Structure 1
Amino acid sequence: MRLTLAALWLLALLALGWLASARLEFSGDLRRFLPDARTPEQRLLMEELGDGPGSRLLMLAISGEAPEALADRSRALHDALVNDPRYTLVTNGGEAGLDAFPEDLLPYRYLLTSSFDAAPLDADTLREALDARLQDLGSPAAGLVEPLIPSDPTLEVLALAEAWQPAGAPQRLHDVWFDKAGTQALLLVETRAAGFDPTGQLDAVGTIRDTFATQAAGSTATLDVVGPGAFSVDIGGRTQAEAQRIGMVDTIGLILLLLIAYRSWKMPLLGVLPLASAGIAGLTAVALLFPGGVHGITIAFGFTLIGVVQDYPIHFFSHQRAGLSPWRNVRGLWPALSTGVVATCIAYATFLFSGVDGLRQLAVFTIFALGIAALTTRYLLPGLVDPSPPDLADSPRLQRLWHRIEALPRPKWSLAVLALAAVAAIAWSPGVFWQNDLSKLTPVDPASMQRDTELRAELGAPDVRYVLVAQARGSDAVLDATAALRPALDALVADGHLDGYDMAARYLPAADVQRARQAALPDDATLRTMLAAALAGSEFNEDAFEPFVEDVARAKSAASLTRADLEGSPLATAVSGLLLEHDDRSTALVSLSGLDDPADVEALAAQARTADVDVRLLDMKAASESLVVEYRGRVLAAMAVALVLLVGTVWIALRSPRRVWRVLLPTLLTLLVIVAVLRLAGVELTLFHLVALILAAGLGLDYALFFEHAGDDRADQIRTLHAILVCSLMTLLVFSLLALSSIPVLRAIGSTVALGVLCNFVLSLLVARQRAAIEAARAELLP
């Protein structure tokens, strides 16, 4: 019968595991752990974090060889990647002149240039341009200019390339980008996959590294790849490696601890069944209810519930003894066990209303995992265990330990002193209490962040905190609105109040501007007449400029250029990073570098704002901090509701103020002590500390409930002591390893819960455990 039950249980787990693996999709997008954006600043921040072009940029640096060799490697890598569908842009600065434009976009130069806005393209303009080209042909620049003249006698390609050149663009050596020291060849790559698409980024980044490794095999050249996508890949690799290492140590520790605790090889095998059931049930639930992807943090944090889930079979094993039916044993434990499960599930259920997708996933995983673990312990596990193991209450070692604990004085006023000291430490510890910096939530290695900052500076990317934002229903409206700000912004730059700015309208004029320029272009007959007049007496042949006439004719009849038309060109990254288009609105950004006084630009925004176009200055740092503050407020509100529900659950179960107080006091004191210790250690609290506090509270409640459940029966107290010792040691092992993790999220969770385990065990032992009956104690002392 036992073998049949075990086989059916395992088959059910395999079936459920198959369902979970078939439906489960992992996500590394940290935005799942952020609240829904409510303000324009927050919405823009969230768009840029995951879907914006900035999240898809990778910065590459090749070093370790002579500059000429590095330039060759840059060109080789560029050529290998430029036509790969994984990337929408690959550039190393080698594109110049006509090469900067795809062939089909060349005629559009007459719609993009502002050269003829003040003075039209007429015979006099053409004559002056042709005279200038004759002089160019006699100058050292002849090699550059000569190929352009037939199709572009006014050199609009070069004029646009110069106008579009960023002020801080990297220097060009050997026709490619280099850093200021000339020791690193630089490339810029934009991936098709979003920055927080871990699968797509793994493929894109892996292809770059593999391609370079093949090309540079046997050389001293090295490649650095940084950017959001590269960080996502590195984080995923580190998280997986640490999870495997911690999981292996946890598994070995669990097996050894159960072997030592119960002196039976069966107990580790049986104890794993409720744990496996809990994990697979939690995964299946989130896979079915969240088809858009389950965050890795949800999975990592969810599996740390081993500290709670494993408690259930351990209590059952520790209380089992000869003469007691396993079914009767588990029924006797069920009031305490079910109360702990319900209270913890209610606490996590409050996160379902937090407005944060990651917390909803965590709540679903936790509720299903704890519920299934408890139910399998109650209704399946008793059918598998040996009904007549040795009674742990007869263990001489446990009896000696119990006597020493029994002799300890019961704390009374000292608990009030501890609470006051903890409150004082929380209130008056120096340093910042809350961590509001959104970047601190990411587990990116500091050295990689520093490298990212260095390469951004080398590539001329602005260090943007303040951004002018124009929003309207169409892209043309926002392009016009930002273009109208250029004279005022130029004045701020000239006065030294602004180092520089950039906007999409600089590269892509609005459709009405393009149409106006198109209308001003001469038709074919007029242009030929003007060109003939300009060529009169010129040294150029009369038919030399037929490509120019054809390009102007194509520009005259072409549809207006849009952002989509730029894909694959060097302009794509500049425009897509500054013009965000959605179904219901378009957003044009004006990046501002070195802004002295935000009030100057705020006044410009107010003047440009209309009924159709909203223009405002955004402080991105303030937006990120407000998002974190809002998130924290929701989590604290959820915790407050959870605390009320937890007290109500314990009250319903125990129905005695004294018993309720004895169970809740260790948990409440532990929460105070944890926060106090973290504050004294100079730790700035994050939202992950708060979520870990809920788990610590659940552990403490379980310890106190089982000590309370043992009552004043000496033998039952010894069995409970054994169970809680095993539970706390196992949980301490798990979370101590997490506290040593290099991933800040896991480190915060691990340190918080490990500290909670120690405090909960000691305080539950001293507060929740009752004095044993005098008669039983005396009987123990008799010979």
Structure 2
Amino acid sequence: MSSATSLMPKQRVFIATWFAILLCAAVFCIQYISKDQVFESNILGLLPSSISADFNQPTIAAIGVERKFIILVASNNTSPTTALNASIELQSKLTKLQSVDIDSHNGNELQRLKDFYRPYVNQLLTADWRHRLTIESPQNIAKKRYTELFSPAQPYHPHNIQIDPFNLAGDWFNKLLPSQEQFRASEIPSLKDGNQLWYIVSGKLNTSPFSPSKQQAITDTLKEFTLQNPDIKILKSGVIFHAAEAASLSKKEISTVGAGSILAIIILVIVVFRSSAALFAIITTLGISVLIGLTSCFLIFEKVHLITIAFGSTLLGLAVDYCFHFLIKYRQLNDAKLTGKRILRGLIFSAATSILAYIFQLISPLSGLQQIAVFMCSGLAAAAINIVVLSFYFHDSRSFSRSLNIFPKYIAPYYLKLAKAKRVTSLVLLIIFIILMTVVINKNGSDDIRNLNSSSQALLKSEVKVQTLLNFPDNQRYLKITAENSQELLNLSATVGHTLNNLGVPTPNANVIGLVLPSISQQQSDFSLIQEKIYGPHGALNELCKLLANDCSAWQLNNITFNPSLLLKNLPQDVKTLAPAFLMSQERETRILLPRNIPITQEFNEFVSSTAKIAYIDNVENLSRSLQLFRHETSLALGVFLITFSLIMLAIYRSNAFAPLITLGISITTSIALGASTGISLFHILALLLVIGLSVDTAVFYLELGLNSETWLAASLSTITSTLAFGLLALSEVPILHQFGSVVFTGLICTWLICPLIFYLFNVNIDHNTKNSPSLCNKEKLS
């Protein structure tokens, strides 16, 4: 390193301030990362808060689905004892985890429901009982009950015959919990699926499923269990498993992209520069850019998404570009300060353009994109500042004349031949551009939010299988019902519930608040019907007593009273968790979850549209439409940016600006046409921001320093490192990263190949006197 004695006082203050900022950023990052849960893997964390809140509440978070998990255990052989013992072992292992509360399955839940409904047994009727009491005679009702009492197959009977002689509560509970007979009540309940017996281990997390430490604890326990029980197969359902898989995959992608890029940079520096000073300059610049990017995100956002870090790995491609241009120009001039002055204008313009492009992401409502914008803008600014600092100190005595011979000896002659055939080459480029533009215009949008799911196919199949076996509703599709008061809400929801069943949309009573908690008017009507048809002087109870030859004095004939306290506002908290309808209902609003995989028919749509105060909500569809809207808005903002950028380029570089602008247009079109193979998504459009940054970097340095051996070598080295990074992203299993990487990878290669050709065709700032360039002709030959 050279001496700093010649530095001006302002420069020394600038350097001291920069080092102080870096020190504070390092200390802050270390302290912040030491906290738990500073990184987020939830895909909803990328979405606007308003949408993610509606996506979660109250359908997921309110009923506790986010923290619940279910594991089904079965044996690969015919012995059910093997699966039972294994499920007991798994439950024991999970019980030992501090973050998990295992469901006891001891009957307490059903008992709580029985105790809750006990005071109201004579004012609650199912639709079937209401119909029977209305049309059947007391004699027929009594005869059917008499036969039922002596049947060997007794139905579920929650109360004794003296309290509930006609088992009204039994039918009520069968409608409320229709699948209770599907399970065997024991220490480990089981579920029959054809010839397969599944044992159910279920529980709930007492913390967020997106906590890395809690994810690790459960996944390690399951991994250990499966290794110890090779004859056992399991099915998993729960956010925790998807979150753990997404976090693991994101970390893998981050390490792969980051390690691959850094390894490529180190190899390139060793091969080309053969200098520890050059390697130190590049590594420190990259490290500082990442440090400042992380610090900025931590200061602004409470948590940083892992996708942001994965995207941030692409920062290496732009930051290293600045380093390569500085190092190669330094080898030519052998003076760090002079090198800094020579590249300063190009450095500022290039960094400012990329930063301006990413600033457009800040207007996006997607919080994940805002994080990426902050990370990239601050990181690029830090990289550019560090190059300025390097220009005060850097010193290196090595050279690489062999690398400088590559362009004039092997590359430039081919561009020169194409430039000589200017008309033919231009025509071919125009035809290719028109074809690619036609492909882009004919591409459809790809906005389905499910395309962003990073869970493996095995986990998705497991989730669907569990949801189907347990007959869970679709918690993202529901009817939203509003009313003026709670009694109107109960009446309206009950009507909707009955109508849904008539329309072929089977909806369990437990999902409809009006069917598990009837309105006072309905309760009074049912009470009157029971009082008359069962307990009246000529009611069914008298007829039953005659058949039984019993005076029924112990049954308290004609001694039933109406209890008016069964109201929505009086629901105990411990009961609310026992049925989805309780949790999803407030005084004036409720939601009815729809069955899974039931198609929405025209009759259903007509019913919803013709009924006041109800609305059909499909969160997945709504979110997909939101992504489509964001794609359109981002495309418009990108168009405005390109127009603004073009005007600035024309104002600064005059006619020479056409070369980089044409390069940029071809690169953008090519990257979308070839990189967005399955349709254009929001993330394909956002990837164009980096394509613009890389294209502008290359073109601006060609304009500022000339297209010669040094600038071509710097652009090529940057292309190699970035190509590796984005090539790895294009192979990613994370859909967002794959879409991003495919577009940038294609645009990067296109820019590297096309930019020099356009400069030769327009004869823009080509250095014809480049050392060791005998094959380059003079300016007259080109013209």
Displacement of 1:397 in angstroms is: 4.6
Is the deviation greater in 83-92 or in 254-263? 83-92
Q: Residue 649 of structure 2 aligns to which amino acid in structure 1?
A: V
Cα distance between partner residues in 1 of 2:117 and 2:480: 28
Q: Residue 700 of structure 1 aligns to which amino acid in structure 2?
A: S
- SS of alignment partner, residue 196 of structure 2: coil
Q: Residue 493 of structure 2 aligns to which amino acid in structure 1?
A: T
Q: 2:320 aligns with which of 310, 321, 328?
A: 310
Cα distance between partner residues in 2 of 1:81 and 1:542: 52
Q: Is the 8 A contact 1:316 1:329 kept in 2?
A: yes
Give the direction of change, closer, same or farther, for the CA distance of 1:565–1:210 in structure 2 (3 Å limit): farther
Cα distance between partner residues in 1 of 2:434 and 2:482: 47
Partner of 1:438: 449
Cα distance between partner residues in 2 of 1:542 and 1:201: 63
- SS of alignment partner, residue 223 of structure 1: strand
Q: Is the 8 A contact 1:77 1:212 kept in 2?
A: no
The answer to whether 1:278 aligns with 2:289 is yes
Displacement of 1:358 in angstroms is: 1.8
Partner of 2:80: 68
Cα distance between partner residues in 2 of 1:778 and 1:97: 86
Cα distance between partner residues in 2 of 1:563 and 1:721: 76
Q: Residue 409 of structure 2 aligns to which amino acid in structure 1?
A: R
Q: Deviations over 1:581-610 (max 9, x none)?
A: 59xx7342252578677342334334531x
Partner of 1:386: 395
Q: 1:751 aligns with which of 729, 733, 742?
A: 742
Displacement of 1:704 in angstroms is: 0.8
Partner of 2:12: none
Q: Residue 719 of structure 2 aligns to which amino acid in structure 1?
A: S
Normalising by structure 2, report the TM-score.
0.80
Alignment of 1:237-256 (within 5 A): 237-256=248-267
The answer to whether 1:234 aligns with 2:229 is no
Q: Residue 650 of structure 1 aligns to which amino acid in structure 2?
A: M
Q: Is the 8 A contact 2:709 2:770 kept in 1?
A: no
Is the deviation greater in 600-609 or in 94-103? 94-103
Q: Is the 8 A contact 1:35 1:630 kept in 2?
A: no
- SS of alignment partner, residue 572 of structure 2: helix
Normalising by structure 1, report the TM-score.
0.80
Which 4+ residue blocks in structure 1 deviate beyond 6 angstroms?
1-10, 78-85, 115-120, 127-137, 463-466, 517-523, 529-546, 593-597
Give the direction of change, closer, same or farther, for the CA distance of 1:649–1:540 in structure 2 (3 Å limit): farther
Q: Residue 678 of structure 1 aligns to which amino acid in structure 2?
A: G
Q: Is the 8 A contact 2:93 2:221 kept in 1?
A: no
Q: Is the 8 A contact 1:312 1:377 kept in 2?
A: yes
Partner of 2:752: 761
Give the direction of change, closer, same or farther, for the CA distance of 1:170–1:406 in structure 2 (3 Å limit): farther
Q: 1:178 aligns with which of 191, 196, 204?
A: 191
Give the direction of change, closer, same or farther, for the CA distance of 1:140–1:80 in structure 2 (3 Å limit): farther
Displacement of 1:747 in angstroms is: 1.5
Q: 1:222 aligns with which of 204, 228, 233?
A: 233
Is the deviation greater in 224-233 or in 252-261? 224-233
Q: Is the 8 A contact 1:667 1:700 kept in 2?
A: yes
Partner of 2:626: 627
Partner of 1:505: 513
Partner of 2:7: none
Cα distance between partner residues in 1 of 2:200 and 2:359: 48
Cα distance between partner residues in 2 of 1:313 and 1:212: 45
Cα distance between partner residues in 2 of 1:429 and 1:638: 18
Q: Deviations over 1:324-345 (max 9, x none)?
A: 4312211210111111111111
Partner of 1:460: 471
Displacement of 1:29 in angstroms is: 3.1
Q: 1:683 aligns with which of 678, 681, 684?
A: 678
Q: Is the 8 A contact 2:497 2:515 kept in 1?
A: no
Give the direction of change, closer, same or farther, for the CA distance of 1:402–1:343 in structure 2 (3 Å limit): same
Q: 2:43 aligns with which of 9, 16, 30?
A: 30
Alignment of 1:48-87 (within 5 A): 51=61, 53=63, 55-56=66-67, 58-64=69-75, 65-66=77-78, 68-69=80-81, 70-71=83-84, 73-74=86-87
Q: Residue 755 of structure 1 aligns to which amino acid in structure 2?
A: T
Q: 1:668 aligns with which of 665, 668, 671?
A: 665
Give the direction of change, closer, same or farther, for the CA distance of 1:259–1:45 in structure 2 (3 Å limit): same
Is the deviation greater in 669-678 or in 770-779? 770-779
Q: Deviations over 1:222-249 (max 9, x none)?
A: 3221344321211111221232233333
Partner of 1:598: 601
Q: Deviations over 1:566-586 (max 9, x none)?
A: 65787334654xx2659xx73
Displacement of 1:306 in angstroms is: 0.8
- SS of alignment partner, residue 641 of structure 2: helix
Partner of 1:722: 713
- SS of alignment partner, residue 656 of structure 1: helix
Partner of 1:615: 614
Q: 2:499 aligns with which of 488, 500, 507?
A: 488
Cα distance between partner residues in 1 of 2:154 and 2:92: 27
Alignment of 1:514-529 (within 5 A): 516=524
Q: Is the 8 A contact 2:90 2:225 kept in 1?
A: no
- SS of alignment partner, residue 480 of structure 2: strand
Unaligned runs of 5+ in 2: 4-14, 777-783
Cα distance between partner residues in 1 of 2:199 and 2:415: 70
Partner of 1:400: 409
Displacement of 1:271 in angstroms is: 0.8
Cα distance between partner residues in 2 of 1:72 and 1:544: 47
Cα distance between partner residues in 2 of 1:208 and 1:384: 50
- SS of alignment partner, residue 236 of structure 1: helix
Give the direction of change, closer, same or farther, for the CA distance of 1:587–1:360 in structure 2 (3 Å limit): farther
Give the direction of change, closer, same or farther, for the CA distance of 1:49–1:10 in structure 2 (3 Å limit): same
Partner of 1:586: 589
Displacement of 1:367 in angstroms is: 1.1
Q: Is the 8 A contact 1:322 1:387 kept in 2?
A: no
Give the direction of change, closer, same or farther, for the CA distance of 1:311–1:777 in structure 2 (3 Å limit): closer
Displacement of 1:483 in angstroms is: 0.8
Unaligned runs of 5+ in 1: none
Displacement of 1:739 in angstroms is: 1.5
- What is the aligned-residue identity percentage? 18
Q: 1:366 aligns with which of 367, 376, 388?
A: 376
Q: Is the 8 A contact 1:319 1:719 kept in 2?
A: yes
Cα distance between partner residues in 2 of 1:491 and 1:767: 68
Cα distance between partner residues in 2 of 1:110 and 1:312: 81
The answer to whether 1:351 aligns with 2:361 is yes
Q: Is the 8 A contact 1:354 1:638 kept in 2?
A: no
- SS of alignment partner, residue 340 of structure 1: helix
Displacement of 1:346 in angstroms is: 1.0
Q: Residue 733 of structure 1 aligns to which amino acid in structure 2?
A: L
Cα distance between partner residues in 2 of 1:419 and 1:455: 55
Partner of 1:560: 567
Cα distance between partner residues in 2 of 1:104 and 1:617: 32
Partner of 2:9: none
Displacement of 1:11 in angstroms is: 3.9
Cα distance between partner residues in 1 of 2:192 and 2:422: 68
Q: Is the 8 A contact 1:674 1:755 kept in 2?
A: yes
Alignment of 1:170-209 (within 5 A): 171-172=182-183, 176-185=189-198, 187=200, 189=202, 191=204, 197-200=208-211, 203=214, 206-207=217-218
Give the direction of change, closer, same or farther, for the CA distance of 1:269–1:565 in structure 2 (3 Å limit): farther
Is the deviation greater in 246-255 or in 185-194? 185-194
The answer to whether 1:696 aligns with 2:691 is yes
Displacement of 1:368 in angstroms is: 0.9
Displacement of 1:374 in angstroms is: 0.7
Is the deviation greater in 479-488 or in 326-335? 479-488
Displacement of 1:666 in angstroms is: 1.0
Q: Deviations over 1:456-498 (max 9, x none)?
A: 22222356997433134766544332212344344434xxxx5
Displacement of 1:736 in angstroms is: 1.0
Cα distance between partner residues in 1 of 2:636 and 2:181: 49
Partner of 1:658: 655
Displacement of 1:643 in angstroms is: 1.4
Q: Is the 8 A contact 2:121 2:164 kept in 1?
A: no
